[in-house]
Amino acid sequence: MNAAKRYEIFRRLHEDNPEPKTELAYSSAFELLIAVILSAQSTDVGVNKATAKLYPVANTPAAIYALGVEGLSHYIKTIGLFNSKAKNVIETCRLLVERHGGEVPQTREELEALPGVGRKTANVVLNTAFRQLTMAVDTHIFRVSNRTGIAPGKNVVEVEMKLMKFVPKEFLLDSHHWLILHGRYVCLARKPRCGSCRIEDLCEYKQKTSDD
């Protein structure tokens, strides 16, 4: 795919959704961090239901740490893998209090040192909470990048690096959100909705479908 096609793809995505947002509910960098940790192998809808109960009770590192693993589990038990996630969140909260003054760090290295935080989670927090130019590649973005030809790669890191290189700079900050929403609602895994896709004429996918 050439640069002109890529530019037009992101121009249209921007035109349709000038201020894209994550579908995770949050009101602080810390709330976002915890929501993203909880979202692994879970839906944003499911996470939002859990945090809607948790955050009114505890929404700071100290407050969640005070709940303990068992107390936190009570609020997140509807989420997959809640036991291991509860342990990671409690330990993360402890480290935030002891090492970071209760604040979410703003570097990849410090974020990835927290339990339950990998490269993708760190990228989401850096981009969404702190408006840094990072690219979190999840299953949706990996699929869209490969299927359309925007940034094909064999693994998520390769796709991430290509997106960072190829996405036009003026669109880079919000491109994570556009791509994930496109994959979630249009470029579906089993039957992409090519007939109603805004970038269908620019996409290089050879097995395009109708919406019938």
Q: Any idea which residues carry the catalytic annotation? A: 120, 138
Binding residues: 187, 194, 197, 203
Neighbours of 42 (CB within 10 A): 17
d(CA 159, CA 154): 7
Binding residues for [4Fe-4S] cluster: 187, 194, 197, 203
d(CA 99, CA 79): 28
Neighbours of 6 (CB within 10 A): 20
Amino acid of residue 149 = G
